[in-house]
Every structure is written in structure tokens, then in C-alpha cells.
Structure 1
Amino acid sequence: MATPGFRPTHVVPGDGMPAWQAPDPARPTVPLDAFLPVQLVERRGDWGRVLCANGWSAWVDGRFLVAVPQDPPTTDAGPLARTADPRPLLARAERALSDYRASVEDFAAGGLGGEAFRARTRGLRLGVVVDGESVWLYDADHGRWVYADGTRLSTYATDDGPHAEAEPRHTSTRVVTPDGP
């Protein structure tokens, strides 16, 4: 029986995953089945406490959970504001993909070495999901994902999540190479 109001935030990866009674590798419990929907209710470093639909909870390596998209924000029927126009962000996404493709072509043709390829693509970020009339775009300039319904944008998620007041934690991802961040 499902817990009332249960809404999954993640699913278990396709291979399933081990679980623990506490955030301690010495206290294993029953592993979680592949694609099991769970709610991530607490984080402690890489550990994540998940709640299952039947009310059972366990600790897992939270890095391997697969996020479930939540319903996108609704947009009002007001006039289109220039800042909410999705076209500039779509144009930036097209340029980023074009720049990456050109770098890959040069690298594959032998015109770029590995180090030159890394230097040319360093800092290049792109994220696009198109699903029918809906699109989710990563806005690298503002560190956020936005949702568009074809006419306007609304912020969907940001790189910086909420921070616990008692215990600060790192919530954004940073790519580190041998040359530095």
C-alpha cells in the first residue's frame, strides 16, 4: 500500500542498488529493485535517505539515484515579456552545439590534439530536452534549467539548491580537470 501523498523524486538505477540501515557501510539491508520509485528525503554527503511508497526507508549512495522530472511550472496567459522569450536561449544553445560539433569534427579529422580539444571546449555547457511542445533548456549564463511551452520561459531548477542553515553543503556540480576547474 502506498503512503498517502507519496510523490517520487527519484528512481533506482536500472541495475538496482545496495541499501543500508544507516549511513554506514557496516549496516547493509535489503537492496533496492531496479527502477523503484523513491523520495529522497535527506542528504548527508554522498549518502541519501530514501522513502519508498510503502513507507520503508533506507540509506543509499545518493549520487546514483536518477531524478524524476516534476511537473513543469504553469505559465500565465499574460503578455510575452522580452526576458521570458525562449528564442535568445535557443539561439545560444544552437551556437554551443555548433561550436562543440565543429570541435569534434576537427578532433576526429586529426586537426586538433586531445589537449587542444579540451581547451577549445572548456567551459562549454549545453542542456536541451524537447518533448513535443515542451522544452527544457539549460541557461549556463544564469546556472538554471528553464521550461518553455513554446512562448515563454519559467525557471524550473537552479544549480544552487537550498542550503541547510546548520550544515552548509555543496549542491552544484563543478568539473575539475588536471589543469584546474
Structure 2
Amino acid sequence: MTTSGFRPTHVVPQNGMPAWEAPEPGRPTVPLDALLPVQLVERRGDWGHVLCANGWSAWVDGRLLIAVPQDPPAADGPIARTADPRPLLSRTEQALARYRTAVEELAEAALDGEAFRSRTAGLRVGVVIDGEAVWLYDSHQGCWVYGDGTRLSPYGADDAPRDTEDPGHAPTQVVSPDGGM
């Protein structure tokens, strides 16, 4: 189930990240999955309150979130290395098919847990489709790309943000999906 009006503003880093029920280290909850698209709805110093597509929310270390631009690159902009979406879509389908096959074999007891982990090691897929727009994770380039049906453009990298000299502890800020605060 997707929350109405959900628009990702950030992506969880490639190794996932811990999450908390409140902006307090003593109240941990379920960690967030790697490369999960989230919407940052509030900042409280280094803490970030994020909303997931299914309506679940949590507090995270906001400094570690990977920002993605709100406005996809213009279709008339320069063509990126991954301009044709078909090869990436094909790789995504192949990775998903490999995972599905492994799940089916695990369910039929044709694989044990260790063989399943071995078979799925290194598989990485990320897809968000919203009408004509698509966000795909390109594991070869290590980044998310945006597609409009005709071409793909870089959208957000999965490298960790650089530390700033003084990240400070700003007061609570409500962050709107359009990028304003």
C-alpha cells in the first residue's frame, strides 16, 4: 500500500540504516532497508523524521540520507551515459527473475538457506514507477536514475554524504516535499 502523495526526497544508504521511534538513541526500532526511497518530513538537529511509501515513519540520522532532486532532469538536457532505458530495464528484469527463481526453489525445498544466500548474493534491484516516471537503481553505476520512457538521467548517488566541518544542531524544521523548509 502506497501513501497518497508520497514523493521520495531521499534514499537510504546502500548498507541500510538504523531507525528509532523517536529522536532518542534509547528507542530503536526496525532498521530501514538499503536504497529504500523515503520522504524527509522533519529535521531536528541531526535527526531526520522520514516517511516510507507504506505510511510507516521513523527517525534516522538525517546526515546519512542520500538526497535526490525533487524535479527530475529535463528531458531536453544532455543525454547521460545511461540514456537508453532498455538495457537497465533488462538487467533489472534479469536480477528480479534470478531472485524469484531462488525464492521458488527455497519454497520448494530445492535450496537450503545457505544456498539461497549464495544464489542471491550481490543481487540489487530498485524500482519506483509513478505513471510515466520511473526511478531505477543502476547497480553498475551505483546510482539511481530517472526515466521518462525515452531516456534515463542520473537522479541520486548511493555514496555517503561528506561530513561538514560543523553540522550544527539546528532547531526543528518542517521539510516540504517541494524542497522548501
Name the TM-score, length of structure 1 as normaliser. 0.56
Amino acid of the structure 2 residue aligned with 1:93: T
Amino acid of the structure 2 residue aligned with 1:95: Q
1:115-171 residue CA offsets vs partner (Å, 9 max, x unmatched)? 00010001110011111111110011111111100011111111114301438xxxx
Aligned match of 1:131: 130
| Cα distance in structure 2, aligned partners of 1:102 and 1:128 | 19
Aligned match of 2:102: 103
1:62-101 residue CA offsets vs partner (Å, 9 max, x unmatched)? 169x999753423243686673111110000000001001
Question: Retained in 1: the 8 A contact 2:9–2:70?
Answer: no
1:62 aligns with 2:60: yes
Question: Retained in 2: the 8 A contact 1:72–1:147?
Answer: no
Question: Retained in 1: the 8 A contact 2:128–2:136?
Answer: yes
Structure 2, unaligned runs of 5 or more: 1-7, 11-19, 27-38, 50-57, 167-181
Runs of 4+ in 1 over 6 A off after TM superposition: 66-69
Aligned match of 1:13: none
Structure 1, unaligned runs of 5 or more: 1-7, 11-16, 26-35, 51-59, 168-181
Cα RMSD between the aligned structures?
A: 3.7
| Cα distance in structure 2, aligned partners of 1:115 and 1:18 | 33
Query: Which secondary structure does the structure 2 equivalent of 1:62 belong to?
Result: strand
The structure whose RCO (Cα within 8 Å, separation 6+) is larger is: 2
Percent of aligned positions with the same letter in both sequences? 49
| Cα distance in structure 2, aligned partners of 1:37 and 1:80 | 29
| Cα distance in structure 2, aligned partners of 1:127 and 1:161 | 18
| Cα distance in structure 2, aligned partners of 1:113 and 1:89 | 30
Rg comparison, structure with higher value: 1
| Cα distance in structure 1, aligned partners of 2:141 and 2:40 | 31
| Cα distance in structure 2, aligned partners of 1:18 and 1:120 | 34
